[in-house]
Structure 1
Amino acid sequence: MPRRKPVPQPSAQARRSIASLAARLMAEDGIADYGQAKRKAVRSLGLGEGAALPGNDEVEAELRAYQSLYQEDEMRERLQSMRAAALTAMDVLVPFRPCLTGAVLDGTAGRYAGIELDLFADSAKDVEIFLLSRNLDYEPEEPRRHGPDSPETLLRLDWQGLPLVLAVYPLVAERVSPRSRRARAGAVAALLEGDA
């Protein structure tokens, strides 16, 4: 059986270049998905598809550096208004034990970022009925991935002029497969105090 050639590992400089360009794409072009940003960066840099990609943590570090250099004042104001809007949405959605996740929580929300909330309900229909009863228009969307730790559905809506994405999980998911970065309303309020 012929031996497969090992895929050449990019140098540390190539990994950093990929992470840096992916971060710029996320900050300037509104790409929210780390994987998509890394793949686009690899293509833009002319590296082969077999190139080993930097980790999300490497891209996040570059994103924070980029934002602090080029978007610091804008970022601070945007992050504060997005966290305040998230908190008001969490107050309305309290029956579904909302948690803030994503870029608004971790402080990397770029110009095109939306607020991401995880909700927990007996059924996604319960959340939809709740929204309709409050005259809140939404658009349902199928999750990109399906699995035990994936949401049942995604609901997109406009909240105080900002995009809001509700990921609806079954009640058991709150205990069984917690995401690493989730914050309840009290933690979001503390973040807002820190932002002020």
Structure 2
Amino acid sequence: MAKGGSTKDQRMRQRLTLEAARILAEEGVKDYYLAKRKAADRLGAPSTQNMPRNQEIQDALIEYQRLFKGDEQQAHLRHLRVTALEAMRFFRTFRPKLVGPVLDGSAGEWSEVLLHLFADTAEEVAIFLMDEGIPFEPSERRLRMDRDVWEFFPVYRFVAGDVTVDLTVFTHAGRRQPPRSQVDGQPMERAGLSVVERLLEPSEPLTGFS
């Protein structure tokens, strides 16, 4: 919580934090800025300048899930991580890295498995998917690479069972410079196969990805 400001402002900031966290958990909204604007509109404070930081909202989101989702959220998180691990093994050639809510533990009902892949060209990933007979949807994503530097990257999305897997493709050089996180603005945390394996119990059943 930011220091300073009136008690009224601090109370509104706390209410905005909790409502934005609830919107992220319950309504399928994935963008923190949009969740904050929705929260401000609903609480009658659309013009407020006292918005919480994204990190405050993520902390509140994790606490909300612990209080109101409990075992259900943890079971779903494990399911997503199992899918992520299977996908990473499947795309091992492209040195996959897990990022986002499935990695940091804030994933909810609408979360997708977000992977970063690395190749000479994005077409290599598209050809791999086609050769494996996996229907996919191509698109692109704008990511912040530095304070004032944004770039577009190719994205391929497909469904594995009941989970959407989202692949953002970088060049091999992109392994050294991850994009910035929307939560804290720092370089995005990425996890390789060994890290994801440690997030799961050794006895976690794997069904095979292909």
TM-score by length of 2: 0.83
- Offset at residue 150 of structure 1 (A): 4.1
Query: 1:152 aligns to what SS in structure 2?
Result: strand
- Offset at residue 194 of structure 1 (A): 8.7
Letter aligned with residue 175 of structure 1? R
Letter aligned with residue 75 of structure 2? E
Counterpart Cα distance in 2 of 1:80 and 1:131: 25
Q: Against the structure 1 CA distance between its residues 113 and 177, is the aligned structure 2 distance closer, same or farther, given a 3 Å change threshold?
A: closer
Judge which range, 47-56 or 110-119, deviates more. 47-56
Alignment correspondent of 1:49: 47
Query: 1:136 aligns to what SS in structure 2?
Result: coil
Q: Against the structure 1 CA distance between its residues 190 and 125, is the aligned structure 2 distance closer, same or farther, given a 3 Å change threshold?
A: same
Contact 2:95 2:118 in 1 (8 A): yes
Alignment correspondent of 2:78: 80
- Offset at residue 71 of structure 1 (A): 0.3
Instruction: Specify every segment of 5 or more residues in structure 1 that has no aligned partner in the other structure, as ranges.
Output: 1-7
Instruction: Specify every segment of 5 or more residues in structure 2 that has no aligned partner in the other structure, as ranges.
Output: 180-186, 205-210
- Offset at residue 42 of structure 1 (A): 1.1
Alignment correspondent of 1:181: 189
Counterpart Cα distance in 1 of 2:111 and 2:99: 12
Q: 1:96-147 deviations in whole A, cap 9, x for unaligned?
A: 1111111111111111111111111111111111111101111011214576
1:116-131 to 2 correspondences below 5 Å: 116-131=114-129
- Offset at residue 160 of structure 1 (A): 2.5
The answer to whether the aligner puts 1:135 opposite 2:162 as a matched pair is no
Contact 2:143 2:150 in 1 (8 A): no
Contact 2:40 2:48 in 1 (8 A): no
Q: Which is richer in helix? A: 1
The answer to whether the aligner puts 1:23 opposite 2:21 as a matched pair is yes
Contact 1:150 1:169 in 2 (8 A): no
Counterpart Cα distance in 2 of 1:74 and 1:151: 35
Counterpart Cα distance in 2 of 1:41 and 1:61: 16
Counterpart Cα distance in 2 of 1:101 and 1:168: 13
Identity %: 35
Letter aligned with residue 167 of structure 2? L
Q: 1:162-192 deviations in whole A, cap 9, x for unaligned?
A: 0111111121111134643111011001011
Q: RMSD between aligned alpha carbons?
A: 2.2
Q: Against the structure 1 CA distance between its residues 144 and 98, is the aligned structure 2 distance closer, same or farther, given a 3 Å change threshold?
A: same
Query: 1:187 aligns to what SS in structure 2?
Result: helix
Counterpart Cα distance in 1 of 2:151 and 2:92: 21
TM-score by length of 1: 0.88
- Aligned length in residues: 189
Match of 2:201 among 181, 185, 193: 193
Judge which range, 40-49 or 9-18, deviates more. 9-18
